[in-house]
Structure 1
Amino acid sequence: MTMTLQCLGATGEVTGSCHLVELNGVQLLLDCGLIQGGKKDELRNHEPFSFNPKTLGAVLLSHAHIDHSGRLPLLMKRGYDGPIYTHKATAELCAFMLRDAASLQQRKVERDNEKREKDDLPVLEPLYTEADVEAVMQHFVPLEYDVSFEPIPGVKVCYRDAGHILGSAMLELWLNDGKQQKKIVFSGDLGRAGMPLLQDPSLIDEADLVLMESTYGDRCHRSWEDTLEELKAIFAKAISESHGNILIPAFSVGRSQELLYLFHLYAKEWDLGRWQICLDSPMAIEATKVYVRNYPLMDDDFRRLVQLQPGNHPLLSNVQFVQSTEESMALNEIHRGLIIIAGSGMCNGGRIRSHLAHNLFRPECDIIICGFQALGTPGRLLVDGATELTVHGNTVPVNALIHTVGGLSAHADQQELLGWYRHFKQTPPVILVHGEPQAQETFQQVLRQADPSPQVVIANMGDKVDLSALPTLTWLS
C-alpha cells in the first residue's frame, strides 16, 4: 500500500506548480504549470517529466494562471490521456490562455530559429502548438465549488474558493488506502479577504497536512485604504506635473479586471475623465468577457452594481478595448493622456514591451508595477531599480517613474497566510511551496513562532513524503 506526495515544481521558486499524489499505485497530479523567469528557467520546461504521463490517473488543476496550467498541453503531448478536473470558470479561462501561450512559444521559437540557422545550430520546436491546446481542452471536466467527487479510487476531492482569480480553488483531498484515511489541503494560490470583485478565500477547519503557497511569506502588503490613496496620488501627480502616459503591466486574468473595476468605482475621485483608458490585450479582453459571464461568482458589492447599473457594467465602462495590432501600434503615437493596461504582467512578453520601448525613456511617464515579478523577468529588473532595459534587442534607459503598488496583489501576504493557517482547529504539518527562498525561510520562522508544535518544512525538488505516517512528516526521498 502506498500513500505519498511528491513535490515536483514551484520548489524554491514561484512558478512551475506541480505535485504528484500516489495512492495504492495510482497517481494523481496537482497542477502542471509553466516555469517562468529567465531563458535558462524557461528551457527547463522542455525537460522530461519525472513521472510517466501515460500512467497518471487524473489531473487536478487549481486555477488558470500559466504557472499552474501552462504545461498541460505538453503533458498530453507526452502521453497523458485522462481527465483534467477544475472549476468551470478555470476551464473557460484556460481555453484561450493556453492558446495564447502556444502562440507566444511558436513566435519565440521562430525568432530563435532564425538566429540558430545563421549559426548552423539545430532548430528548436515549440513546447506545444495550438493543436495540442485544442486536444487538451477536450479533457477538461468543469466543476462547481463545494461539490465532492472521486477522481481516482480511494480519493475524494472538493474544490473551495481561493479568492485569487476567477475560478481559483484550494483543494481538499481525502485519501483512503483501505486501512486509514488522511486529509491533504493544497492551498493553490491564496487570495485576500476584503478585496474588491472576488469572494474572500474559503476557510478550512481540518487537515492532516497543508501544502501551502508562500509567495509573500516575508512581507505584508499596504492596507487597501493606503493602496487606494497611493493610486489616487499617482494619477493626481501625473496630471499636475507631467501628464505623460501611464503604463500598467498587468496579468490578463485577475489584475486587469480588478483595475477596470477600480477605474469604474473611483472614476470621479481619481479624475479619470482626463485620461483615455485602454485595455491593450486581446487575452485580457477575453478574460473580461468570462468575468462578465460569471458575475454570480463575484462578491456582493459587485453583483449589486451589475444589477443596479445594467447599462454601465463595472468592467466595461470607462475603457477602450484594443484588439488589433494596428490599433495597439497607433497608441505609441500618443505621448500624453493615456493609461494603458497591457500584458504580460512581468513585462517579459506581450504588447507591454512595445509600449515600454516608446515610453520608458520619457521622464514624464509613469510605470505602475502591481503584481509579483519573478526573478529574471524585466518587471523584476524595474522593481529592483534597473537604469536601463533591453526591449526588442535595443537598450532603453529607464527615465520614467517606477511605482511598485504591492497592495494590489492577488496573493495573500504574510499575515493573511498566517491567519488562513490558524483557522485549522489543530496544527497540521506544513510543506511550503510556491515561494522564493527568502520568503519561505521567513514564513517558516513566522509559523514556528506562532506555534512551535507543527512541523514546517520548505519543499525541495523531488521531496516525497509518506502520507500514511502523518501527522509526522516522514520523507522517502
Structure 2
Amino acid sequence: MMRLSFHGANRGVTGSCHLLELDGLKVLVDCGLFQGGREIDEENAAEFGFDPSQIDILLLTHAHLDHCGRIPLLVKRGFTGEIIATPATRELARVVLLDAAHLQEEEAERHARKAKRRGKKALEPLYGELDALNAMDLFGRKAHYENELELAPGVTATFYDAGHILGSASIRITYRDGEVDKAIIFSGDIGSSDRPILRDPVPPPPAETVVMETTYGDRDHKPLAPSIQEMYDIINETMERGGNVIIPTFALERAQELLYHLREGVDQGVIPRTLPVFLDSPMAISATEIFRHHPECYDEDACALFERGDDPFWLPGVHFTRETADSMALNRLSGGAVIMAGSGMCTGGRVRHHLRHNLWRREASVIFVGWAAPGTFARRLIDGAERIRLFGEDIPVKAKLHTINGFSAHADRDELLAWHAATRPDRTILVHGEEDVMETFSQALHGTQVLMPEQGESVDL
C-alpha cells in the first residue's frame, strides 16, 4: 500500500504535516504548529489524525515553527522514531523548540493565575521544555544536500537545498512500485532566488508526484533592491522626525537578512554609521550565532565576506539584547533607534512591548517585512486598525505603518512555476497556501493532475 495523507497546511499556510505510508513504513514529513488567532490553540491540541507511536521516521524540511513546532507534542504522545534533518536545521530546531516550550509554559502559568482568581480550571501547556529536550534526543542521521539516505530497503530520501532559510530542504523520496522505481517530492518552503546570504533553491530531479507549497502562488514579489531602499528611506525619515523604527522580525533568516542589509547601508553611507540598531530577540541572537556556524549554506557573496574576515551581521551601532532588563530599558527610548524584535506576526514576544510604547507616537514607524496570518496582531495592524488593545490598554495607532513585501523568504508565483516545471510531475498536490491562492496557482499548471486536499484527506499513490 502506498498512501499519502494530509494533517496540516491544507488550504491554509501553517501546521505543515504530511504522512507517507509505503508498504508498512510510515514516514512523516514535518510536524508544524498552527499559527493565527487564539482559536488555533484548540487545533494544535487536537489529535494528529494518526497514531504518533506508529510513525517510523520524521523528515524535517526546516526549522520554522509552522513546520517543526508540534514535534515535542508528537513525542509527548508516543513518537519514538528517528528524526532526520540537515545539520543547520537540527541546530536551529533546538533553539526554536526550546523557545516554543518556554512560551507554552509561561502562557499556561499566566492562565493558571487568572483561572485561580476566577475559580476555573487551568489549562495545561501544549508541551514543556522536557518534551522539547526529549524530541531533540530523537534527531538521528544528518541529511547532507544531495546525499541519498536509506529509510528502509528500497526506500530512499534525498534532501535538496530549498534556499528558504538556513538548512532548509526539499525532499525527494524514491520507492519501488512493483517493478518500477518512482519518486515523490515534498517541496517544503521554497526560497526566492538572488537573495543575500543563502544559495538559490535547487529543484530536485523529476518525480511522478510533487507536494508543493503555494504561499505566494498568486503574485510576484516586489524587486529586492527597491525594497531595501524603501527600508533605508523609512529609517532616515523616522530619524529626522525623532522617532523609533520598530520592525517585528522573524528570528530565522529575516533577522539575519535585515542585519545584512543594514550593514550594507552603513558601508555605503546610505544610513548613519552611528545608527543604534537593537536585535531584541534571544532566539534571533542564537540563530545568528548558528548562521555563523554554517557558511556551507552561503552564496558566493556571503562566503567572500567571511573569507575576508568580515561578519555579514555586524555593524557599528548594533546591540544584541538577550536579557529582559536590557529589553525593558529600550522602552525608555523615545526616538532615534531601530528595534528589531520577535515575533514577526506580533502574536507574542518582546515586540508587543515596543509596540505598546511606540504605536501612539506620531513620530514613530513600524515596518512589517513578512507575511502575517489572518487573526494575528500584525494582520490587524496591516489591515488598518485605528486602535489596538495591548496589555489591558486601549492604544491609538498614530505611528506610520509600512509593509514592504520584497523581503519575503518564499518564492513568488513565477519562481514557483519555474520550480514546478523542473520537477515535471504527473500529479501535483498543492498545500501551504490560502485556498483562493491555490485556486489561482492551479490554473497556471498544465499537463499535470492537480489536487488540493482537505485536512485529514488521503490519496492512494
Shorter-chain TM-score bucket reads over 0.9
Tell me the equivalent position of 1:462.
456
Instruction: State the SS of the aligned residue for 1:237.
Output: helix
Are 2:209 and 2:425, in contact at CA under 8 Å, matched by a contact in 1?
no
Deviation at 1:203, TM superposition (A): 2.0
Paired residue type of 2:162 = A
Instruction: State the SS of the aligned residue for 1:288.
Output: helix
Deviations 1:214-270 (A, max 9, x none): 111122110112212212221232233x13000111110110000111111121343
**Structure 1 consecutive aligned stretches of length 4 or more whose deviation exceeds 4 Å:** none
More displaced stretch, 379-388 vs 86-95: 379-388
Say whether 1:285 aligns with 2:279. no
Tell me the equivalent position of 1:434.
432
Instruction: State the SS of the aligned residue for 1:382.
Output: helix
Deviation at 1:394, TM superposition (A): 2.0
Deviation at 1:317, TM superposition (A): 2.8
Say whether 1:8 aligns with 2:7. yes
Equivalent positions of 1:36-185 (< 5 A) are 36-141=35-140, 142-185=142-185
Deviation at 1:179, TM superposition (A): 4.1
CA distance in structure 2 between the partners assigned to 1:301 and 1:31 by the alignment: 31
Tell me the equivalent position of 2:231.
231
Tell me the equivalent position of 1:473.
none
Out of 314, 327, 331, the position equivalent to 1:316 is 314
Paired residue type of 1:463 = E
Say whether 1:18 aligns with 2:17. yes
Deviation at 1:26, TM superposition (A): 2.0
CA RMSD of aligned residues (A): 1.3
CA distance in structure 1 between the partners assigned to 2:56 and 2:131 by the alignment: 20
TM-score of the superposed pair, with normalisation by structure 1: 0.94
Are 2:165 and 2:253, in contact at CA under 8 Å, matched by a contact in 1?
yes
Tell me the equivalent position of 1:472.
none
Deviations 1:430-456 (A, max 9, x none): 111011112212111222xxx2x2112
Are 1:154 and 1:177, in contact at CA under 8 Å, matched by a contact in 2?
no
Paired residue type of 1:460 = E
Tell me the equivalent position of 1:275.
275
Equivalent positions of 1:297-316 (< 5 A) are 297-308=297-308, 310=309, 312-316=310-314
Are 1:263 and 1:272, in contact at CA under 8 Å, matched by a contact in 2?
no
Paired residue type of 1:61 = L
Are 2:20 and 2:27, in contact at CA under 8 Å, matched by a contact in 1?
yes
Instruction: State the SS of the aligned residue for 1:73.
Output: helix
CA distance in structure 2 between the partners assigned to 1:400 and 1:35 by the alignment: 30
Tell me the equivalent position of 2:443.
445
Deviation at 1:143, TM superposition (A): 2.1
CA distance in structure 2 between the partners assigned to 1:302 and 1:120 by the alignment: 56
Instruction: State the SS of the aligned residue for 1:248.
Output: strand
Are 1:113 and 1:123, in contact at CA under 8 Å, matched by a contact in 2?
yes
Are 1:5 and 1:465, in contact at CA under 8 Å, matched by a contact in 2?
yes
Deviations 1:81-107 (A, max 9, x none): 111000010000111110000000111
Tell me the equivalent position of 1:414.
413
Are 2:210 and 2:425, in contact at CA under 8 Å, matched by a contact in 1?
no
Are 2:169 and 2:188, in contact at CA under 8 Å, matched by a contact in 1?
yes
CA distance in structure 1 between the partners assigned to 2:16 and 2:260 by the alignment: 29
Structure 1 gaps of 5+ residues are 468-477
Deviation at 1:180, TM superposition (A): 3.4
Deviations 1:144-188 (A, max 9, x none): 111111123432100000000000000001122444332111110
Equivalent positions of 1:330-369 (< 5 A) are 330-369=329-368
CA distance in structure 2 between the partners assigned to 1:379 and 1:201 by the alignment: 28
Instruction: State the SS of the aligned residue for 1:20.
Output: strand
Deviations 1:406-465 (A, max 9, x none): 1001011111111211223x3532111011112212111222xxx2x2112222111211
Are 2:95 and 2:283, in contact at CA under 8 Å, matched by a contact in 1?
yes
More displaced stretch, 382-391 vs 364-373: 382-391
Tell me the equivalent position of 1:475.
none
More displaced stretch, 138-147 vs 191-200: 138-147
Deviation at 1:368, TM superposition (A): 0.6
CA distance 1:363–1:464, shift in 2 (3 Å): same
Say whether 1:252 aligns with 2:221. no
Instruction: State the SS of the aligned residue for 1:112.
Output: helix
Structure 2 gaps of 5+ residues are none
Aligned length: 458
Tell me the equivalent position of 2:324.
325
CA distance in structure 2 between the partners assigned to 1:429 and 1:445 by the alignment: 14
Say whether 1:294 aligns with 2:288. no
Tell me the equivalent position of 1:201.
201
Are 1:235 and 1:270, in contact at CA under 8 Å, matched by a contact in 2?
no
Are 1:431 and 1:459, in contact at CA under 8 Å, matched by a contact in 2?
yes
Instruction: State the SS of the aligned residue for 1:85.
Output: strand
CA distance in structure 2 between the partners assigned to 1:41 and 1:68 by the alignment: 15
Q: State the identity %.
A: 43
CA distance in structure 1 between the partners assigned to 2:269 and 2:452 by the alignment: 44
Are 1:57 and 1:152, in contact at CA under 8 Å, matched by a contact in 2?
no
TM-score of the superposed pair, with normalisation by structure 2: 0.97
Are 1:23 and 1:177, in contact at CA under 8 Å, matched by a contact in 2?
no
Are 1:23 and 1:154, in contact at CA under 8 Å, matched by a contact in 2?
no
Deviation at 1:113, TM superposition (A): 1.8
Instruction: State the SS of the aligned residue for 1:217.
Output: coil
CA distance in structure 2 between the partners assigned to 1:314 and 1:410 by the alignment: 18
Instruction: State the SS of the aligned residue for 2:313.
Output: coil
Paired residue type of 2:444 = V
CA distance in structure 2 between the partners assigned to 1:432 and 1:35 by the alignment: 18
CA distance in structure 2 between the partners assigned to 1:393 and 1:3 by the alignment: 52
